[in-house]
Amino acid sequence: MSEENKKLRPVSELGEFGLIKFLTNDIQIRNATTILGIGDDAAVLEYKDKQILAGTDMMTEGVHFDLTYMPLKHLGYKLAVVNFSDIYAMNGMVEQLLVNIGVSNRFTLEALDEFYTGVKLAAERYGVDIVGGDTVSSQKGMILSATVIGSVDKEKLVKRSGAKPNDLMVVSGDLGAAYLGLQILRREQEVFLVNPNHQPDLTPYAYLVERQLKPEARKDVVEWLAKNEIVPTSMIDISDGLSSEVIHITEASGYGAYIYEDKIPVHPETEAVAKEFNLNPLIAALNGGEDYELLFTIDQKDYEKIKNVPGFSIIGHITEDEGAYLITGLNEKLELKAQGWNAFLERKKAKDKPDDTSKTS
């Protein structure tokens, strides 16, 4: 056993309550709505004249993440941020976070500390209080879940269902980068399995890899909208691909949409790497997912406020007739399909492989 490995401590050294204290003893309260955080049977929150927003999400090893290329610190950060994104998609602000961890005995205290460092970094960066959670033993790898609580002024709450005909469809940032980042990581993983001495150089792909491993939620978009007195008529975060999210909005609102191929924002690095993989970058943008940008609709009266703002792209509009369509550069009208990532389908594919090398333990 190396000197370095001797320093690593098993979780059993502390037990459940000692582990909780070990991971959370330096957590600070940042929001006035948090009356009591970690340390009692439940957190105590107090809101006045607000609508409360709550969301939760789970991530399991071997399905949602692979620790052969996902650093634990990044994983903790990503778990928090993807949950924050759901609250921002309702035009609200996140204020509290609860984190649940299930781990097998292969994880050391140092490994869990690294994971929780990422959670704390996200909480600090976004001004969120960690107010609770749970730690349990798992027989198969790592199982994670997070619950977020936030608030929004009643008159500023934005649902998926509020879009109306002639509203403009707007997207923040660029799309498809996270999907290409994942393809790069999987390619390097395959090379490593053949040659464990392989040392990948990911520097040329830094933007795409970061978009996959360490995404950011668009709190800044919600703040910009508030500052410029724009309340979107509908909004959703782009976790499953642009096609799926456009369809969610149109189905919830009871109308249709046209989006235009030449208006969809794609980063130059996404375009370049898509060519390496013989992929159409538009497909990555439409179906890739995990971009965590915001897709929202606005009334035509707000067009002047947003038309020339860097970081926003007006990609289409809501139509009276039902159905969501892509208008190509050749003026073809193609129906959008919800082809974003499906965890249950991906898991089935992995099981059905004759030689399954997926890591789940």
Rounded Cα–Cα distance for residues 196 and 189 (Å): 9
Q: Return the structure tokens found at 103.
A: 């781990």
DSSP-assigned letters across all residues of 155-185: GG---GGG--TTPEEEEES-SSHHHHHHHHH
In the prediction, which pLDDT does 16 show? 60
Least-confidence region, from 220-224, 270-274, 356-360: 356-360
In the prediction, which pLDDT does 5 show? 53
In the prediction, which pLDDT does 347 show? 46
Choice between 135 and 158, residue whose per-residue pLDDT is larger:
158
Confidence at 237, pLDDT banded by 50, 70, 90: very high
Residue 156 pLDDT greater than 80, yes or no: yes
Rounded Cα–Cα distance for residues 97 and 83 (Å): 9
Mean pLDDT of 25-53: 81
Residue 290 pLDDT greater than 50, yes or no: yes
Rounded Cα–Cα distance for residues 336 and 258 (Å): 9
Domains of the chain: 10-156 (3.30.1330.10), 160-349 (3.90.650.10)
Are the C-beta atoms of residues 138 and 102 closer than 8 Å to each other? yes
Confidence at 194, pLDDT banded by 50, 70, 90: confident
Helix 206-213 and helix 177-194: axis angle, to 10°? Answer: 100
In the prediction, which pLDDT does 196 show? 78
Rounded Cα–Cα distance for residues 27 and 42 (Å): 16
Rounded Cα–Cα distance for residues 117 and 114 (Å): 5
Mean pLDDT of 97-102: 96
Strands 143-152 and 256-260: unpaired
In the prediction, which pLDDT does 356 show? 37
Are the C-beta atoms of residues 112 and 11 closer than 8 Å to each other? yes
Least-confidence region, from 30-34, 52-56, 142-146: 30-34
- Per-residue DSSP letter, 217: -
Mean pLDDT of 178-187: 95
C-alpha angle 178/180/182, rounded to 5°? Answer: 70
pLDDT tens readout for residues 55-67? 999 999 998 999 9
Confidence at 40, pLDDT banded by 50, 70, 90: low
Are the C-beta atoms of residues 243 and 288 closer than 8 Å to each other? no
Of 318, 146, 298, residue with least CA distance to 224: 298
Residue 360 pLDDT greater than 70, yes or no: no
How far, in Å, are 51, 268, 271, 340 from residue 242 at the CA level? 28, 18, 16, 8
In the prediction, which pLDDT does 357 show? 31
Rounded Cα–Cα distance for residues 19 and 113 (Å): 10
Residue 358 pLDDT greater than 50, yes or no: no
Q: Which pTM does this prediction carry?
A: 0.86
In the prediction, which pLDDT does 151 show? 94
Of 250, 272, 257, residue with least CA distance to 334: 257
Percent of the chain with pLDDT strictly greater than 70: 89
In the prediction, which pLDDT does 203 show? 92
In the prediction, which pLDDT does 340 show? 60
In the prediction, which pLDDT does 359 show? 32
Residue 15 pLDDT greater than 80, yes or no: no
Which of 34-48, 151-165, 336-350 is most confident? 151-165
Residues near 152 by Cβ (< 8 Å), separated by ≥ 6?
A: 50, 51, 53, 90, 91, 92, 93
pLDDT tens readout for residues 18-34? 666 777 777 788 888 88
Are the C-beta atoms of residues 97 and 147 closer than 8 Å to each other? yes
Are the C-beta atoms of residues 312 and 222 closer than 8 Å to each other? no
How far, in Å, are 93, 94, 222, 341 from residue 229 at the CA level? 16, 20, 11, 34
